[in-house]
Structure 1
Amino acid sequence: MKTWKKLSLGTAGLATVALLAACGNSSSGSQYPQLSLTTDPTTLDSATNTSTYSGILIGNTQEGLTRVGKDGKPANALAESIKVSDDGLTYSVKLRDGLKWSNGDALTAKDFVYSWQRANAPETASQYAYLMANIENAEAIHTGENKDLSSFGVKALSDTELEIKLSKPTPYFEYLLTENIYMPVNKGAVEKYGKQYGTASDKVVYSGPFEFKKDAGWTGTNASFKLVKNQNYYDKKNVKSEEIDYQIVKNPNTAVQLFKQDKLDQAELSTTDLYTANKNYNGGKNNIDLKEATTAYIEYNQSGENTSSPAVAKALKNKKIREAISLATNRKDIVDQFVPGSTPATGFTPVGMAKNATGEDFASYAAQGYAYDTAKAKTLWEQGLKEIDETSLNISFTTDADKPSAKQIADYLQTSLSKALPGLTLTEKIIPYAQRLQDSKNGNFDMVMSVWGGDYAEPSTFLQLFTTGQSYNDGKFSSKTYDDAFKAATTTPDVLSQAKTDADYKLLEDTLYKGSYINPVDFQANPALMNPNIKGLQFHSTGLAYDLKTAYLK
């Protein structure tokens, strides 16, 4: 998912940790967990959401066929059983009996068919429709080439039986089923509210462990709201808290103060100053360190369109210019100064997310030669300028206004890159998070700081981003070598040999590096303060960042 810090936690990797501090004296002033988001949600529509802030709320108020379990692997949720054919192409799903929506409507297999057809339909314009690409006829329907929705490879055989047909084996498909886009939506609510569906909590019907409190929901603009147990949820007996209270706290310093005043049960230490000042708070008994499999990276607009000037358009299509900027990026300095707990990026696929056939961390196996070398950077920069017949460049750098560290990194890059690359002026474009997402999608940038957190524990969740025409390939570059390697890695028979697939994935990382198509900056982690009386709160480094189902305040 594309955010700058995404609740300052990510959705990547599949390690799961319970957020249980060993001991401590902190206790909030409420009988229910008091949690926060660092920026406003954007929607409650599971089909169109692209934000982890919204995804946290959607993932706890809706539920799909599977849910990420405590071990980080997909576990059956609304599905009672899932059987896979020997060729890996047919999934036969049996739903639990007696499933209901929060309004009491029966929840049946037809709801999944409607929801998935809607999510994949071109008019929905879901940026996550690519997660459905391996369903039979999904791509042709999504592009509008095939108008017959009934040919989409999902059918309701009865109220409780669902059949899914894939176009090719997808070993991680049950991980995909945990994602927002695969969650059912209530057809009556969608038809009743139309374009307003998902814009406020009273314009949605829920299938998951929680729903929004009727008189304290999310209006679309308010800074505090409450979740309450969904009494029609099939597994309500295992939902441990009757209520979860949320507030939007955009300033991390404010969040830490609220934590110390017992008005929040968690607070991120998202800046170096905050981390240094609070790493020994209460003797360190409240400190936790949440490792993310999430990568922050700089994208270059290589489309030749929507850049700040024709000269910049030429420059960002020039490999030497891009390589010079990469070599002038001091990743270690950025991590040490502004991103506590993180590590300098050695590729795009982050550490701790997946292993190769021999058990080695994939990020180590596929590590590239991203380096800091200002002398080489200057040489390439001057060669690149000569090739495009320019002597100087004013390049715009876009990042989020919602995160203090984002502005600090922008300031650092503005100074350090301009010093290393004679004739470069880096102009900051600091905009709200939601606008940054939209500008990235529309290609309205020169350089932009992006973040991607994977959705399942396999490198393709990262590496598929940069295939030609992919909706999240915001820089719009195209590489036949890259496309061919990705096809080889994800197509039978190669997919049957993990060692061969590993090699293809490593070639993708090598192609990104050698072409300087992107500029990976850091693999992220998140230190935080946590009330030790919060029990059962699960952090997942893929998919749903915070799973509240078993969370409660002791």
Structure 2
Amino acid sequence: MKKALSLVLALGMAVSTMSAPALAEEGGEFNIRACIASEPETIDPNLENTVDAAVYSMHLFEGLMKYTNNGEPAAEGDDRVQLMDYDYGVAESYDVSDDDLVYTFHLRDEAVWSDGEPVTAQDFVYSWQRIVNPETAATYGYILNGVVKNASAIQAGEMEPSELGVVAIDDKTLEVTLETECPYFIGLCAFAALMPLRQDVIEEYGTEWTTPGNMVSNGAFVLTDWQHDNYIEMSRNDQYYDPAGPDKITWYLSDSQSAMLAAYEAGEYDFFYDVPTDQISTMKDAGQLFTADQICTYYLHLHCDNIPDWRVRAAIALSIDRENIVENVTQAGQTPATGVVAAGITDSEGTNWVDRVGDIMWQPLAEMYPDADLTTYSGRCDLAVQLLDEAVAEGYDTSTTMTYEYNTSEAHKAIAEAVQADVANVLGLEITLHNSEWQTYQDNLNEGEFGLGRMAWSADYNDAITYIEMFTNGNSYNYSNWVSDEYTALVEEIKSLPGGEERDAKMQEAEALLFSEGGFSITPLYFYVQPYCLQGEISNVGWTPLGYFSFIHATQGAAE
């Protein structure tokens, strides 16, 4: 609980005073209590833009495809959590045309909504047209651009949403026409933002359609309660064709790592993963914490209006000691990042992208400054000072204080303090740290009220474009307000190419442009892993390295 727990801790009272359903005894209800984040901005699938909101959506809704446990352990030493693969969801099969441009999905007859109405192809048409409609102002409005026919033109206001290349042939047949062959399209069909939605429900209730009693969903669970800033409660959907394991999931809402840990240790949570960094080693050694691979990059936005000289942005990037951050701050097995595309993404031949491109963040600088030693931190610091000196010689004012914006979290604070110290020690530049609750933090990023802004991106699917397209002109995730017509045109070209080496090479070229002259609007810090804590007799929890845990088929007792 976001507020109640922090109050309890402040007063030094026992966390066990929380009102929480206990894990069921044998023969009783099977309830799971988890905490993965604070209050979500929305649980409207089309409008969600965070991993936690996507997790909630994936329990409440089901897309054409879904994630299913594959039986392989997600973390060393723990067989209770399994990796998940793509599987058929509402679609029971699909056909692809000879030119790979037309996908025809056949929907299962047993797929129904929580009110008993059948899920139809038109429910997908409505949802997909809604997300690309500029009037919806969906953060993920761009997700189908260059993928589904006419999506880009619709987003640009040049065509109507009804002209999107998605058609209901009949109630159980959905036809999707692509702009070009897309190697990650089937992965997109499991993405939370593209779940089917009921037009009649949304039109009847407007923005209140996501409240308990109003929401109609087609997934394994239904929304039964939402006490804002406290918890979200879901109960098993009796209409779902593949009944869930738990009877109920209670998602507690908190942004306090210490509060989460206290609740977990008091037996009030069965699962949480935002572990205080100073407890990671202790809990891991005690066998209470496990670590799963995750395809995610932690990086900073460097606002191009507030830090207008690219050399200063590059100097800041060079001055940060990433090894220190992963070894002494995060401490969970993260690895330093020298590119924005996360470890775990593969190219068209299955090669890990990071292995393909190497230390791509430093390569353009190495070409511009061939005498610099970019293989060591001390060498990078030397170049950082040189770049700052060049900028100062041309009028850059070093007396300006930069604001580092981050959302409230002990972990983000510790990282921010490490960056602040590095920049001060190496460059003599002053950074002021500012934290705020998630929505205020998002508003500050959108309004450009920062010099540095922390961000992390968990891949939406296994393709480098999930990272690369975020930094095009006007993209909703381009918080740095970086403008590069060259980069944007290159990304548009990439999205017109079929999968293969030519496309891979263009994406590598685009990633290098991010760190070339005029760039450094972002600076990656590290590649994620996902620590988690799970207690009680719970098994068959699902995990995908794209960042989602699933309790849909969790069971009581030892792992199967």
- With the length of structure 1 as denominator, give the TM-score of the two structures: 0.85
The aligned residue for residue 274 of structure 1 is 279
Q: From 210, 217, 236, give the equivalent of 1:206.
A: 217
Q: Which amino acid aligns with 2:416?
A: A
Q: From 371, 383, 392, give the equivalent of 2:390.
A: 383
TM-aligned CA distance change 1:356 to 1:83, over 3 Å: closer
The aligned residue for residue 12 of structure 1 is none
The aligned residue for residue 374 of structure 1 is 381
The aligned residue for residue 483 of structure 1 is 488
TM-aligned CA distance change 1:287 to 1:241, over 3 Å: same
Do the aligned partners of 2:36 and 2:273 also contact (CA within 8 Å) in 1? no
Q: CA deviation at 1:369?
A: 5.0
The farther-off stretch of 54-63 and 379-388 is 379-388
The aligned residue for residue 435 of structure 2 is 430
Q: Determine the C-alpha separation between the residues in 2 that align with 1:299 and 1:287.
A: 31
Do the aligned partners of 1:196 and 1:203 also contact (CA within 8 Å) in 2? yes
Q: From 450, 454, 467, give the equivalent of 2:459.
A: 454
The aligned residue for residue 319 of structure 2 is 328
Do the aligned partners of 1:40 and 1:53 also contact (CA within 8 Å) in 2? no
Q: CA deviation at 1:258?
A: 2.7
TM-aligned CA distance change 1:375 to 1:280, over 3 Å: same
Size of the alignment, in residue pairs?
499
Q: From 517, 520, 524, give the equivalent of 1:520.
A: 524
Q: Determine the C-alpha separation between the residues in 2 that align with 1:190 and 1:73.
A: 31
The aligned residue for residue 146 of structure 1 is 159
Kindly report the root-mean-square deviation, in angstroms, between the aligned alpha carbons of the 2 structures: 2.1
Do the aligned partners of 2:361 and 2:512 also contact (CA within 8 Å) in 1? no
Q: CA deviation at 1:488?
A: 4.1
TM-aligned CA distance change 1:94 to 1:28, over 3 Å: closer
Q: CA deviation at 1:98?
A: 4.1
Do the aligned partners of 1:414 and 1:425 also contact (CA within 8 Å) in 2? yes
Q: Which amino acid aligns with 1:287?
A: L
TM-aligned CA distance change 1:354 to 1:254, over 3 Å: same
Q: CA deviation at 1:123?
A: 1.1
Runs of 5+ in structure 1 lacking a partner?
A: 1-26, 305-312
Over residues 383-430 of structure 1, what are the superposed CA-to-partner deviations in whole Å (9 max), with x where a residue is unaligned? Answer: 2122234242211111111x10111222222222122113x2111121
Do the aligned partners of 2:280 and 2:289 also contact (CA within 8 Å) in 1? no
Do the aligned partners of 1:44 and 1:201 also contact (CA within 8 Å) in 2? no
SS at match of 1:81: strand
Do the aligned partners of 1:331 and 1:344 also contact (CA within 8 Å) in 2? yes
Do the aligned partners of 2:54 and 2:193 also contact (CA within 8 Å) in 1? no
Q: Determine the C-alpha separation between the residues in 2 that align with 1:454 and 1:320.
A: 29
Alignment of 1:278-427 (within 5 A): 278-281=283-286, 284=287, 286-302=288-304, 304=305, 313=306, 316-340=307-331, 341-355=333-347, 357=349, 359-367=350-358, 368-370=360-362, 372=377, 373-401=380-408, 403-422=409-428, 424-427=429-432
The farther-off stretch of 345-354 and 260-269 is 260-269
TM-aligned CA distance change 1:269 to 1:547, over 3 Å: closer
TM-aligned CA distance change 1:67 to 1:459, over 3 Å: same
Runs of 5+ in structure 2 lacking a partner?
A: 1-21, 71-83, 363-373
Q: CA deviation at 1:469?
A: 2.4
Q: Which has the higher contact order (CA 8 A, sep 6+)?
A: 1
In the alignment, structure 1 residue 552 sits paired with structure 2 residue 541 = no
Q: CA deviation at 1:224?
A: 2.4
Do the aligned partners of 1:33 and 1:553 also contact (CA within 8 Å) in 2? no
The farther-off stretch of 359-368 and 154-163 is 359-368
The aligned residue for residue 180 of structure 2 is 168
Q: Determine the C-alpha separation between the residues in 2 that align with 1:189 and 1:195.
A: 10
Q: CA deviation at 1:29?
A: 6.8
Q: CA deviation at 1:490?
A: 3.0
Do the aligned partners of 1:34 and 1:264 also contact (CA within 8 Å) in 2? yes
Q: Determine the C-alpha separation between the residues in 1 that align with 2:347 and 2:159.
A: 38
Q: CA deviation at 1:90?
A: 0.8
In the alignment, structure 1 residue 120 sits paired with structure 2 residue 139 = no
TM-aligned CA distance change 1:170 to 1:391, over 3 Å: closer
TM-aligned CA distance change 1:274 to 1:28, over 3 Å: farther
TM-aligned CA distance change 1:29 to 1:75, over 3 Å: closer
TM-aligned CA distance change 1:128 to 1:29, over 3 Å: same
Do the aligned partners of 2:104 and 2:173 also contact (CA within 8 Å) in 1? yes
SS at match of 2:181: coil
Q: Determine the C-alpha separation between the residues in 2 that align with 1:491 and 1:43.
A: 32
Over residues 285-306 of structure 1, what are the superposed CA-to-partner deviations in whole Å (9 max), with x where a residue is unaligned? Answer: x33102211111111111x3xx
Do the aligned partners of 1:385 and 1:392 also contact (CA within 8 Å) in 2? no
Over residues 429-476 of structure 1, what are the superposed CA-to-partner deviations in whole Å (9 max), with x where a residue is unaligned? Answer: 211122222322333322101111110011111111112222211112
Q: CA deviation at 1:274?
A: 1.0
The aligned residue for residue 230 of structure 1 is 237
The aligned residue for residue 260 of structure 1 is 265
Over residues 502-538 of structure 1, what are the superposed CA-to-partner deviations in whole Å (9 max), with x where a residue is unaligned? Answer: 2222212221222323111111112222226221110
Alignment of 1:524-539 (within 5 A): 524-531=528-535, 533-539=537-543
Q: Determine the C-alpha separation between the residues in 1 that align with 2:190 and 2:539.
A: 23
Q: Determine the C-alpha separation between the residues in 1 that align with 2:112 and 2:503.
A: 41
Q: CA deviation at 1:482?
A: 2.6
SS at match of 1:218: strand
TM-aligned CA distance change 1:389 to 1:351, over 3 Å: closer
SS at match of 2:245: coil
In the alignment, structure 1 residue 177 sits paired with structure 2 residue 189 = yes
Q: Determine the C-alpha separation between the residues in 1 that align with 2:473 and 2:181.
A: 22
Q: Determine the C-alpha separation between the residues in 2 that align with 1:456 and 1:464.
A: 13
SS at match of 2:31: coil
SS at match of 1:348: coil
Over residues 49-69 of structure 1, what are the superposed CA-to-partner deviations in whole Å (9 max), with x where a residue is unaligned? Answer: 112222111111011111123
Q: Percent same amino acid at aligned positions?
A: 26
Q: Determine the C-alpha separation between the residues in 1 that align with 2:155 and 2:274.
A: 41
SS at match of 1:132: coil
TM-aligned CA distance change 1:457 to 1:525, over 3 Å: same
TM-aligned CA distance change 1:429 to 1:157, over 3 Å: same
Q: Which amino acid aligns with 2:238?
A: Q
